[in-house]
Structure 1
């Protein structure tokens, strides 16, 4: 009788294990851009397809673009933490003050232009300096927007003096500090609002990455695009991340966890970099030569010097949060120097 019971128990346990192994997991993935965006069409969708293929259909994604799960972009990180979404793609800077170490990456004239160049530094910085910003999350990737440029309506910006009196869209607190240090007035707003704001004259332009120009139709409302000297760091960066609910990840079978792991981190960073560089190159090459406001080296150096006040201000604020602000910015600079 005892052996018969053991046999039944063995069969039951085996069946339960097989059931768990065959379970289909549907992940809710939310972000703030349209479904036609570069991020969804060229990274998130192919990434999800890769997970589904490697799991033989056991991992599936349901993507919710344009904040379809409700809330605002500033709430996306909380939505992942609270389980409203399983995975979100967002900018940490949208949740002001919650990810202070990452802000060092967004300071002016620190990181190089380009998805590949910038992302290598950003991922290394995350692993060495910024993991404490993301406690409670399963971090799938931290990457950048390839570097921001100035896009203006009605006024060509070639020098520091050209920025005086301009109102410019800022994507974050750090971008706002950069704009202010250069003598312009920052106006914070998400990407979805900046084109209309420029067309109506609410702002005179935007500090934004080339990658978003076609998607937001920024090229239709701006006449000039400032170009920094070849090989020099960007005006600033927006850091972006894919965050997963940690409990959701921990509850997955080990083999599905392994599939997500090997398609995340550096592998996902490189996937974003490739798509960002293609989109950036296409947007830049579509701009007519007459629209490019080329900044000479001397004028660029003057802008760098003026922006130092934004960096000093950030260091002071970081120190006030019991962080070593100087060590963090030095960490970014050292990584950037090592990747040249």
Structure 2
């Protein structure tokens, strides 16, 4: 072999090795809200950037808001499972009855108002009870948001009687069960439909977080924002951040390890913390708009808690009749919350 041919072969082999090292994987993830809302702004986009950086650019993560890759928010889980998208943000409760065990985390006053603490509990509970439910996707994180509260047209809620007849948007079955117990007329609705429903008078208001309020223009579409007293959330919502299983398993080992390093308990806590940060932004926007920021008295909050306890007992009876060990689910959800709160308070 001539020197020239040897050099050419060496160059070709070197080029091939370089190309192999620079292998690129593009992952398309989708969510259903504004990129300026808290989870995309403080978790999804930074998560994507972190994965790209730690892979030295070999993984590119494209984020598509507002379901730009197609489908509706309630169908997100199936889009991931079927490979229509590589991954995305899912609210299992948007498909009532499909993931009933997850509802244990969404029961009234189950989790604290800290999204980070609630999300640590959500990941722990998920590991114990929900991995079989989500076995046809690859789970990256499971999390919850900060406090869910009532946003409505007109004056704030001061007493349980103020709920009577109000048409209020609810995001999940446990939330609508509570609203019904309070005397409201609950209307199940995914978040993208909420602003139009408000503007057209289909609903008088709804329950949602502080952090989502600005992107939904609730400073313009509602007048008051009412939370319960204390440190436990009136209601909450369970989310997962997940990948298509074949896409995940098809990654080279070293790139799969990058996804693994950005999954799990701390990633779930990060997602919850994003909501906590966004809640502060949302409160500021509503206050600056001159809207009423209110808190129900501790006495009335206790009355609401009592009704919430009825919802929980009725849920246990319903799920037990369907063959689930519902009391254990509730007990374990409470235990996960206690563990998450104790760990954070002790610096663990």
- Normalising by structure 2, report the TM-score: 0.88
Task: Report the equivalent of 1:316.
Answer: 317
Q: For the Cα contact (< 8 Å) 1:52–1:60, is it kept in 2?
A: yes
Distance 1:244 1:108, change over 3 A: same
Task: Report the equivalent of 1:332.
Answer: 333
Mapped partners of 1:103, 1:266: distance in 2: 20
Instruction: Give unmatched runs, 5+ long, in structure 1.
Output: 1-12
Q: Structure 1, residues 106-141: CA drift from partner, whole Å, max 9, x if none? A: 111111102122112111111122222211211000
Task: Report the equivalent of 1:165.
Answer: 165
Mapped partners of 1:285, 1:175: distance in 2: 25
Farther off after superposition, 149-158 or 33-42: 33-42
Farther off after superposition, 330-339 or 152-161: 330-339
SS in 2 for 1:132: coil
Q: For the Cα contact (< 8 Å) 1:114–1:277, is it kept in 2?
A: yes
Q: For the Cα contact (< 8 Å) 1:118–1:144, is it kept in 2?
A: yes
What is the RMSD of the two structures over their aligned residues, measured on CA atoms? 2.2
Task: Report the equivalent of 2:43.
Answer: 43
Q: For the Cα contact (< 8 Å) 2:214–2:285, is it kept in 1?
A: no
Once the two structures are TM-superposed, the CA of residue 17 in structure 1 deviates from its matched residue by 8.3
Matches within 5 A, 1:62-81: 62-81=62-81
Distance 1:311 1:60, change over 3 A: same
Mapped partners of 2:135, 2:250: distance in 1: 18
SS in 2 for 1:258: helix
Mapped partners of 2:254, 2:14: distance in 1: 17
Q: Structure 1, residues 239-273: CA drift from partner, whole Å, max 9, x if none? A: 11111111111111111011111111123223223
SS in 2 for 1:214: coil
Q: For the Cα contact (< 8 Å) 2:138–2:248, is it kept in 1?
A: yes
Task: Report the equivalent of 2:252.
Answer: 253
Mapped partners of 1:168, 1:174: distance in 2: 14
Mapped partners of 1:74, 1:98: distance in 2: 11
Farther off after superposition, 221-230 or 248-257: 221-230
SS in 2 for 1:183: coil
Instruction: Give unmatched runs, 5+ long, in structure 2.
Output: 1-12, 343-348
Farther off after superposition, 281-290 or 123-132: 281-290
Once the two structures are TM-superposed, the CA of residue 214 in structure 1 deviates from its matched residue by 0.8
Task: Report the equivalent of 1:292.
Answer: 293
Farther off after superposition, 19-28 or 123-132: 19-28
- Normalising by structure 1, report the TM-score: 0.90
Mapped partners of 1:31, 1:270: distance in 2: 19
Once the two structures are TM-superposed, the CA of residue 212 in structure 1 deviates from its matched residue by 0.4
Structure 1 consecutive aligned stretches of length 4 or more whose deviation exceeds 6 Å: 13-18
Once the two structures are TM-superposed, the CA of residue 15 in structure 1 deviates from its matched residue by 9.7
